[in-house]
Chain A
Amino acid sequence: MTMYEYSCLPVVFGLTLAPFFLGIINRTKAKVAGRQGQPLLQAYFDLWKLLHKGAVYSRTTTGIFILGPVVGLAAIVAVLGLTPFAGCPPLFSFIGDLILFAGLLGVMRFATMIAALDTGSSFEGMGASREAWFSSLAEPVLWLSFAVLARLTGQFSLGAIQSEIGSALWAASAPELALTALSLFAVFLAENARIPVDDPNTHLELTMIHEVMVLDHSGPDFAFIQYAAALKHWVLASLLAGVIAPVHTGHAWIDITAALLTMAGIAVATGLVESVMARLRLTRVPQLLVGAGALGVMAFIVDIMR
């Protein structure tokens, strides 16, 4: 059966399940630490609560501060429309859509950073500075992974790449795919401000990046930011899921179940990483990203040598 008719599925899944992904990460961390943990649906409750609040704005801020969350959320929703999931093609797909994917992620980052700088707070300036630092290093890593995947599959669009990756490709070029998956995971952790790059729990410490940039947002603006962050987790994790567990049985519902389980697995893995690792010292983070880039280069060279 053709899956084309399901092309709105990735968007629907993403929009509805993204906050749940965060719930699984938090539950994993709680279990490992021996706690009960917050409800799995806590992220939804938070969003609901924030959407019903008023807002407080700093006198320093301008329209940029208000536009930041709006543009960020719009960008990540547009990215979601380009992301394939579970063998279903994305909502919108064309040759070179992965370039637009990276570009729109850049827009989201830019919007968040200038909104942070708009407050004039030294904390948020610091967060923006670090975000700029790490994301500029994560960008080449993401691109190298894209390049390896494009080379392995011979395709130029995310949907086609994901449907080309299957057991046959894994049998033929396991090392490359494994290396790429590792470097994509590093990008996932860095871009989503997870440990070992950033600590999502440290709400008022000097070491943080993402949380500190959104200190001043409140009410619906903050809901937009939280939701956009959840969607970003979802989007990057579904890229990774497409590489590590490409189940293409032809039966849509089996594929979708497998993909959802993989996503849950990635969430658990993220939670485990956060439980067993400490945040890296700031100056060591570039090393992690350079290492992830090196994995991409190795994948390349291994493939050229065949």
Chain B
Amino acid sequence: MNEVADLMVVLMAMTNLILLGTARLTLGVRLVGAQGALAGAYMFAANAEHPTVHVLALSALIIVAKGLVFPKVLLRTLEKAEARHEMEPYVPYSASILLGMVMLASSVWVSSRLPIAGLTIPPSAVPISIWTMFTGLFLVVARRAALTQVFGYLVLENGIYVFGAAIAGEMPFLVEMGALLDVFVAVFVMGVAVFHISREFEHMDTDRLSVLRD
């Protein structure tokens, strides 16, 4: 099943790439959802030779939560907030893609320096998960809309999750559940917050929230 796991990882990389280059929020939500589902599927595919109940349950949970529930919540928020597009990001899209390539190259370099080379299944999982983390951080930093920042956190979490799964094989159940719960709450809170921001201020750009500080 190595090939399948490999494919999942490459598809995750593709979602990163499109997330870096798109301005459409609905597409972004779907992609983040798909990436979460891919992360869950990766967990399953990487351990498919010795499937345990634990792995099965966790994969299924991740796929349902990240692939179905989160996107649903975010899409509803979007619908209510009537926002379609990210306006003028701090870093333009072509430059984001190029920077994404730089980040990819540096994550390959970083992963070649980690003392885990050759241990992971498949070898592309570690660099691409690191790249996913970078992409998440980048999205948080470089985009204005509150919702894109939520994407950033989710992508970051996906990266951490795959990184953990690639190195440890399977994570302690409790840790993973805790992390998942955190994200779950975060998504809800942010969903509600984004909605209220947009209703109160008729926009949802975080940079303009700074006028509230006084």
Contact = CB atoms under 8 A, between A and B. Distances in A.
**A/B contact in complex, CB under 8 angstroms:** yes
Contacts of A306: 123-124
A35 B89 CA distance: 42
Contact of A305 (B98, B101, B108): B108
A305 B97 contact: no
B97 A174 contact: no
B104 A298 contact: yes
Given A174-B7, A287-B94, A287-B97, A298 B13 contact: yes
Interface of B: 3, 6-7, 10, 13-14, 17-18, 21, 93-94, 97-98, 100-101, 104-105, 108, 123-124, 127
Contacts of B100: 294
Interface of A: 174-175, 179, 286-287, 290-291, 294-295, 297-298, 301-302, 304-306
5 contacts: A174-B7, A294-B97, A295-B17, A301-B127, A306-B123
A239 to B, nearest CB: 22
Contacts, number: 48
A175 B101 contact: no
Given A305-B123, A306-B123, A175 B17 contact: no
The 5 A-B residue pairs whose C-beta atoms are closest, nearest first, are A175-B10, A290-B94, A287-B94, A305-B124, A290-B97
B17 A291 contact: yes
A174 B17 CA distance: 18
A297 B93 contact: no
Contacts of A174: 3, 7
A192 B123 CA distance: 38
Contacts of B6: 175
Contacts of A290: 21, 94, 97-98
Given A294-B101, A301-B105, A305-B124, A287 B7 contact: no
B129 to A, nearest CB: 12
Nearest to A297: B101
A302 B10 CA distance: 8
A300 to B, nearest CB: 10
A266 to B, nearest CB: 21
Nearest to B107: A301
Given A294-B97, A298-B13, A301-B127, A287 B104 contact: no
Name which of B3, B97, B98, B104 has the most chain A CB atoms within 10 A of its CB. Answer: B97
Contacts of A175: 6-7, 10
Nearest to A289: B94
B113 to A, nearest CB: 14
Contact of A287 (B14, B93, B101): B93
